[in-house]
Structure 1
Amino acid sequence: MLGYVNPSKTLFAFFSPSFAVPSGAYSANRIANTGLNTYAFLPYLGVTWFPHPDWEISTVTVLEMNSPNHATQYHSGAVAVLDYLIGYSINKRLQLGVQGTFLKQLTDDTQNGVKVGSDGFRGQAVAIGPQLRYMWGPASGIVVKYQHEFAVRNRPQGDKLWVQFSFPL
């Protein structure tokens, strides 16, 4: 991982060249498999900027490039994902924000080297929603997020609600 912090400690950035490998057994005849039976390269860039001590603007960008699934001859296209947050800290413990994601498939899905469907089965999705973060310690807290999805194409669509916890190990 490569990182950068500006001298005033108001801008943070990091880059990580991540990789994913197949895990678990795979069978093209199974109704469900736990993985896609592919390798993936996932370069990851995160940036956080504090334009004012009470304000945070953060983004995480990931580009996912998969190898073909040799059991099915299916090759999923490259996907770019941008997650974002604009947050305002009411005090040292409580932050309210607006967050969401943009997802866009950049290349076609193929099977046996042939484009899938008339549009290459290129997916896309946009989501936005509120976020609440409460920190009860220096590295311990909870985040509650809700996202409403729209402009979805060639992907499952639905609203999301989730809770994240952080604590030191």
Structure 2
Amino acid sequence: MLSLLGAGAAHAFEGGVSPFPVGSTGEYVAGIPPIPGLFVLEQLHYTSSSGLYDNEGNKRPIPFKMGTFSATTRLLAAYPTTVLGARLYSQLVIPAVSLHTEVAGHSERHNGVANITVSPAVLRWNVSEHSYAVAGLDLALSNGSYNPNRPSVSTGYTSIQPVLGFRHTDPNGLDIGVINRLLINRENSTTHYRSGRGYVGEVTAGWNSGPWKMGVVGSYLNQFSDDQQGGNTIHGNRARSFALGPSVAYNAGKFSVSLNYQRGVYATNTTKNNILGVGIAVPLWIMQ
């Protein structure tokens, strides 16, 4: 997460950036294990951009470069109980970010913890032998290294994010998953800026052959309501973006590892990001 305040561009979301790091899920779309225990997913991302884009998708005439490195720890607890016929989970996401920006020759670097996300309840329903659906609620908290006067690695407001997903994974065949997320943003109490509501969709698709999977990953952002500043609506500055790229994953049984790259294809009122991601998933404890 980052803020581009002071970059000289019109806002879409506060600072021009989604309160959810679009494209960060990668291969792990709706990736929920079917057994009780405690699991950890460590994800490393490098994100780069070299432009700010206007409401028509054209690159603004502002010299701009951005690069971020993030290390995100996701802890997932799977409980030996069911609710509404579904297995119950909860999740804690802790992202550490190093952000470097360069705007019109002015360079800054900032490090810190981005917004911590808590998922009090996530439900997983089995649909068939190889398919399941998931639903939950993510709370991206207004914590972290936020400063309204400079580029920051966190936003200054809480975002409530209902999530609904589906995954079909045949160990020797088709593997496809999609996750849908709403962004319902609270007002930033420091700046009195309220970012508009948005939708994020992420997808993974490929083919499993033994322990290997080859495929693609993609991400889409659409802000569907306007921002507000001090109660006044800001029209015509809604953020949209789309990215797509290849992925490869290896499941070793006791752990799994993935590598993916998403190239920014389209953006309006935000940055067009290229994302390189590596993920390692390991069970810390499995309930027998």
Report if TM-score (shorter chain) is over 0.5. Answer: yes
- Aligned residue among 57, 66, 69 for 2:185: 66
Give yes or no for the alignment of 1:102 onto 2:217: no
Contact 1:144 1:163 in 2 (8 A): yes
Q: Is the 8 A contact 2:170 2:208 kept in 1?
A: no
Which residue, 102, 109, 123 being the options, matches 1:2? 123
Aligned pairs (5 A) from 1:27-106: 27-28=147-148, 30-50=149-169, 53-91=172-210, 93-106=211-224
CA contact (8 A) 2:194 2:229 kept: yes
> Does the CA-based 8 Å contact 1:21-1:38 persist in structure 2?
yes
Alignment of 1:135 with 2:259, yes or no, is no
What secondary structure does 2:204 align onto?
strand
RMSD (Å), alpha carbons: 1.9
TM-superposed CA distance for 1:152, in Å, is 0.6
Per the TM alignment, residue 59 of structure 1 is displaced from its structure 2 partner at its CA by 0.6
> Aligned pair in 2 of structure 1 residues 90, 108: CA closer, same or farther (>3 Å)?
same
Equivalent residue for 2:143? 23
| 1:147 lines up with 2:268 in the alignment | no
- Cα distance, 1:51 vs structure 2: 6.9
Match of 2:271 in 1: 156
1:122 to 238, 242, 246: 238
CA displacement, residues 104-162 of structure 1 (integer Å, 9 cap, x when unaligned):
0011111112222x40x2101111111000122x2412110011112210111121111
Say how many residue pairs are matched: 163
Relative contact order higher in (CA < 8 Å, ≥ 6 apart): 2
SS in 1 for 2:187: coil
CA contact (8 A) 1:109 1:115 kept: yes
Q: TM-score, normalised by structure 1?
A: 0.87
Question: How far has the Cα of 1:22 moved from its partner?
Answer: 1.4
Matches of 2:254 and 2:227, distance apart in 1: 41
Contact kept in structure 2, 1:63 and 1:79, CA below 8 Å: yes
Give, in whole Å, the separation in 1 of the partners of 2:147 and 2:169. Answer: 48
Give the conservation status (yes or no) of the 8 Å contact 1:45–1:62. yes
Report the Cα distance in structure 2 between the residues aligned to 1:115 and 1:102, rounded to whole angstroms: 24
The one-letter amino acid paired with 1:107 is S
Report the counterpart of residue 111 of structure 2 in structure 1. Answer: none
- Structure 2 CA distance for aligned equivalents of residues 147 and 69 of structure 1: 30
Q: In the alignment, residue 132 of structure 2 is paired with which amino acid?
A: F
Identity over aligned pairs, percent = 25
Equivalent pair of 1:27/1:71 in contact (CA under 8 Å): no
Q: Pick closer, same or farther for the CA change 1:74–1:142 going to 2, 3 Å.
A: same
AA at the equivalent of 1:149:
G
Cα gap change, 1:102 to 1:139, in 2 (>3 Å): farther
Alignment gaps of 5+ in structure 1: none
Structure 1 distance, partners of 2:172, 2:144, is 46
Q: Is the 8 A contact 2:239 2:267 kept in 1?
A: yes
> Which one-letter code corresponds to 1:96 in the other structure?
M
Q: 1:114 to 1:16 in 2, by over 3 A?
A: same
The residue identity in structure 2 corresponding to 1:68 is: E
How many angstroms does 1:9 deviate by?
1.7
Tell me how far 1:26 sits from its aligned partner. 4.9
Which sections of structure 2, spanning at least 5 residues, go unmatched? 1-121
